[in-house]
Structure formats: C-alpha cells, structure tokens
Structure 1
C-alpha cells in the first residue's frame, strides 16, 4: 500500500485503509475497488490523500494502535473539547453548569484511561517506528490532530527515553493541547486563508486560554496543563505566548511541539496541500536548533519512516523504484525494487541503497 493524493487516484485501484467520517463512522472500508464515483465521494468528504493498493505496492502497513482505539480516542477528545466550549458560556444556569462540570469530569477521566491504555500498549513494542500518516477529512481536524499528535509524541518520548509516568502525562497533555481552540471564534478558527495580524493575535490566545481552562476547571497535573501553554514555544525564543528559549521550555512541551508540527504538515487543509512524510521530516530536521530541540529532532527522525514499504520513489540515477525493505539503522537508504530507468520500464531488480552510496532518493513518485 502507498499514500497518494486524491487527485492522482485511478479507477480500479483498491482502498488500502478504512476511511472514517467526522463522526467516527465508516465511510468506506478497506478493500473497496475504487470507481470515479467513489473517488469523488472521498474528495467531497474532505480527504486530500488516501492509501491505495495497486500493482506496484501490494503489502499492508499496520497502524501503531488499533483502529477502534484510535476512533474511541478521537470521539472522547471531541466530547471533552465540546463540553469545555459549552462550559465557557455565560448563559448557563447553576443546574446546567453543574451537569456539564460532572460530564466534563467523566470525559477527562475517560481520556486519562485511554492515555494510559495507549502508553501501556505502545511502551511494550520494541523498536517501534511510525510508518503511516494518519488519514482524516478536514472536518473534525482538531480532534484527529490531537490524538495523532499524542501518539507521535508518545513514540518520540519513548525514543528519547522518558520514563513511563512522564509518558502518561505527555500523552494526556497532547490529547488536550488544543483545548484552548474551543474558545476561539469559529470564523477565525476555521478560516481558509492567511490570518490578518489581529486575527493571528486572537488565534495565539488558544495557548493561554487552554492552560487557564485546565487550571481552573480540572485537576490535571501541572505537567499536563503546561503542554497546552507551551506547545508553540520555539527553542530560539521566536515562539509564543512568552517567547521562551530552550532551557525555559518544559521537556514535554518540546516533544509535543515536534509531534504536532509534523502532524499538521502531513495533513491536507483547505488552504494548502499536505506535505509528504519525507518533506515533513526534512522540515523538522531543518528546524532543529532553531524551532526544535536538536536532541529531540535526532530522536524523532529515528522513529518516523519517511519512505514506508510500498512507497514509489525517484532515485538520483534517473530511475523509479518501489521501497521493498526498511533499513532501521539508515531509514533514508532502504532496499528498493527498480521498475523504470531513463523513462523506460525495465525488468524489476533490487538495489540496496545502503550499499549503493552514490545513489540517493530524491523524492516520492505518485504516478509511474
């Protein structure tokens, strides 16, 4: 299976990963043979890329967590964030407020339970690596982004050597890191173009508003709350809300910052195309020491595979090849199967990029 933009999907290929709508219901199950009508339906639901199976990539890639756990986590985050928005209203009477507060307490307990379940499951998996980009529609972006960023943060935290208690707080905190967006006006939060200066200032308030909400309305630990406050701080001091520098930023916030940027970059949005995994990894690497802590960046690139099995790539020797096997020590140099040279189809043959030092991957190919 391989990830392709929806615009290049051809009739007759097969859907390799189940698609869910914004409510967590199955939209299309994996294995469906795609027609032009189904491709249009996928596009109309706001999907900008999908995983397919075709003649070039037959294998499957497993998600880090079970799909049902991911969907349950997304639904729980959705409920929690929506309840927080309702609690922010000044029009509630005493009875309504108490009812919502009790509901919020239960939802937060559910998130805590799910975070522990996810950590306990992933913590036991040796040499875990992220091979999949989470595919989601533009609707419900915040909820999907919160869960996927939490999973990415957890994998990075494990790779960096954080202890299990910190991993619990990290996963919980990243699930709630964007809770402050519930208090931002919809016309700004859902704007499809670039923010005006005054709109951007309002948008940046989600960090402090989220932190204040968690402090005033929950019993979440300081470690959990501070992630919502600091996840947009940058190690060179150019971030917000306080322009903190490397040593002033809490370690869990530094982890969250990398994970949430990677997830945002690899997500299609109405106003921009998604970056491919390799482009997003290159961005993270290029921002090491400026936006992100360099040691965390080094740990991150060891845990995120930019060229999963089945990916079709351009090689520097004017060839096109399919990734056959990952080299865990040198993820940028996998074993590939060459299928085209100098624009001509050839009898496929294997090329080990770990040994062929003069050949490098130059990018991802979507159409052969």
Structure 2
C-alpha cells in the first residue's frame, strides 16, 4: 500500500484504505478497483491523495487507531464545532463527548507496543479542521507517551489538542477555506483564533486551565517569533510545545486549497530543521523517531537512480530500510534486495509516484 497523488493513479489500481464522505459514511471501501469515474468523484470531495495497492505495492499498513474510533472522533468534533457556530453557546453534553473521545484515544494508544506513525490521514477539504484536530491529538499523545507523561497530563494534552483550533469557528468561513494566498489582513484575522478559542473556553471550569493554555499557545515558537504573545522557550507551556510540533507536521502532510501536501520525509526534515528556532529541540528528536518517512510499500528513488519498493523498516533507523529494486538501467539489478543499513553508499533521494 502506498500514498499517491490522485493525478498519478491509473485505472485498475486497488483502493488501499477506505475513504469516507463528509458525514463519516463509507464512500468507497478498501479493495475497490479504481476507475476514472471513482477518481473524479473522489477529487470532487476535495481529496487529492489516496492509498492504493498495485503491482508494485500491496503490503497492508495498520492505522495507529481503529478506523471506527477515528471516524467517531471526527464526527464528535464536527457536531461540537457546528453547535458553537449555530448557537454560540456552551453545551455540557458536547463537552462530555469530547472528554469521552480523549479518554478513548488515550486508552487505545496506551495499549499499543508500537507507536510508529506509518500512515498519513487522508482529508477532505470540507472536513479538514475536524480531521486535522483528531490527528494533532494522536500525534501529540505519541510524543507525550514517549516523554513518559502521566495519565492526567496525557488527558489534558489530548483535550487541548482536540480543541486547539476551536477559535477558527469565530473566523469567517470564506477566509478559512480560501484557495488563494491570504492577504496580510486576512492572515491577521486567522491568527486571532488562538485568543478567540481561549477566551471562549476561559470561564469553563470543566476544561483544565492547561488545556486552555494549549489552545492559546500552540502557535508560539521557542525563538519568540510566534503568536499571540511572542513567548520564548520554557515560557511556553510544555504541552503547548508538544501540540505545536504535531500541528505543523499534520498541516504540512495535508493537501490544502492553496498547496499540495508534503511527503512525510519532507515534513519531518522541515520539523528537524526548525528545532531550537520554532520548536523544542528535545521534543523534535523524540517525535522524529516516531515517524516513518518511507513506510513499507513506498516507491523510492535511490541515489544511484534505481527505483525500489520499501520492504522492511528498522525502528529508529527509518531512513535505512530494506528495499527491493524494481527499475534500473542495469537489468541484472532488478529484483535485488538491498539492506540500506549495510549499503551505506546508497541513500534515498525522493519518493516516486508514477512508474513509466
């Protein structure tokens, strides 16, 4: 199974991962043979990348949480945010459902032995905010678990991460969903979502003050160039520093109206390069060890220009997998299995999507 931009998908490929419509109903099930009608329908939903199985890649990759829990979480957030948009008032029933979701995600992740992130979540444009919020919560918890946070801290972290973008409810929808580059004054409006979200929940005693601080500070940067208050280093709440990393990684690996998604390896390189300037460097190191930049099934171009498929990943050495060559100018090399842990003269140059 590999992630491919929709324009690179050919008829006859098998859908590798079930996709859902904007109401959480199954649109196309895993295993469906894709044709141009299906591909066009998916594109109309604002989905621009898909997991496929084809002659090059058919390995199954398990999501880090169950699909049912992911869809339930997205639907819960969507209902909560919609309630705020429509009624502009708090509802204890919705708060309770958010807390239930937080506990369910924590329990599921805490029960796993392997917390490596192999999949990028496929998002539609209309549901982006809710899907993104769930992903940020999952990624934040993975960092938190690796940092050995206690259950109470994980709960506050997850709640704050799920609600980190709640302030966007109070920003005009046409700005949130604008396809063109934002004007400076529009970007200034977007930046208000941190304080608007914090102020909305400020007087709610059911939500921990720490979770509210996450909402306020998740765009602060350790060098003081973030917003809303330009805080630096340890003046930024520890849990907010975690969410800042998860937020940017998930945003970079998501298709947006104004740009296409980065691959996981490109996004993690950006995060690593921004350690000690934008992000807490120790947290970045922990996070980078949990991301698989080239999951099993990915097609990669090697530094000798051969194309290979990733067959096995080594924990903590994800840039040095075992690969199998499927295309080469040297015909005798095709089919060769290479352990990049021992073949140190070879490196992965880039992800390959279309095979000619």
> Normalized against structure 2, the TM-score is what?
0.97
Instruction: Say whether 1:278 aligns with 2:265.
Output: yes
Residue equivalent to 1:71? 71
Task: Measure, in 1, the Cα distance between the counterparts of 2:311 and 2:239.
Answer: 35
Task: Measure, in 2, the Cα distance between the counterparts of 1:286 and 1:191.
Answer: 28
Name the stretch that deviates more: 21-30 or 10-19. 21-30
Confirm or deny: 8 A CA contact 1:339 1:345 kept in the other structure: no
Alignment CA distance shift 1:180-1:361 (3 Å)? same
Q: What CA RMSD, in Å, does the superposition of the two structures yield over aligned residues?
A: 1.3
Query: 1:348 is paired with a residue of what secondary structure?
Result: coil
Alignment CA distance shift 1:346-1:42 (3 Å)? farther
The structural deviation recorded for 1:161 is 2.0
The structural deviation recorded for 1:160 is 2.1
Query: 1:50 is paired with a residue of what secondary structure?
Result: strand
Residue equivalent to 2:5? 5
> Normalized against structure 1, the TM-score is what?
0.94
The structural deviation recorded for 1:336 is 0.6
Deviations 1:184-214 (A, max 9, x none): 1112222111221211111111000100111
Residue equivalent to 1:293? 280
Deviations 1:205-239 (A, max 9, x none): 10001001111345201111111100100000010
Confirm or deny: 8 A CA contact 2:178 2:257 kept in the other structure: no
Query: 2:52 is paired with a residue of what secondary structure?
Result: strand
Query: 2:261 is paired with a residue of what secondary structure?
Result: coil
The structural deviation recorded for 1:329 is 2.5
Query: 1:216 is paired with a residue of what secondary structure?
Result: coil
Name the stretch that deviates more: 79-88 or 258-267. 79-88
Residue equivalent to 1:216? 203
Task: Measure, in 1, the Cα distance between the counterparts of 2:211 and 2:336.
Answer: 50
Task: Measure, in 2, the Cα distance between the counterparts of 1:333 and 1:344.
Answer: 23
1:267 to 254, 257, 263: 254
5 Å-filtered alignment, 1:1-368, equals: 1-88=1-88, 101=90, 104-217=91-204, 219-342=206-329, 346-368=333-355
Alignment CA distance shift 1:187-1:323 (3 Å)? same
The structural deviation recorded for 1:181 is 0.3
Task: Measure, in 1, the Cα distance between the counterparts of 2:306 and 2:63.
Answer: 30
Query: 1:282 is paired with a residue of what secondary structure?
Result: helix
Deviations 1:66-118 (A, max 9, x none): 11110000011111112222343xxxxxxxxxxx64xx211111111111111
Alignment CA distance shift 1:356-1:106 (3 Å)? same
Residue equivalent to 1:97? none
Task: Measure, in 1, the Cα distance between the counterparts of 2:300 and 2:276.
Answer: 29
Task: Measure, in 2, the Cα distance between the counterparts of 1:4 and 1:65.
Answer: 22
The structural deviation recorded for 1:343 is 7.6
Task: Measure, in 1, the Cα distance between the counterparts of 2:19 and 2:146.
Answer: 29
Deviations 1:52-78 (A, max 9, x none): 000111111000111111000001111
How many residue pairs are counted as aligned between the two chains?
355
Task: For structure 1, list consecutive stretches of 5 or more residues without a partner in the other structure.
Answer: 89-99
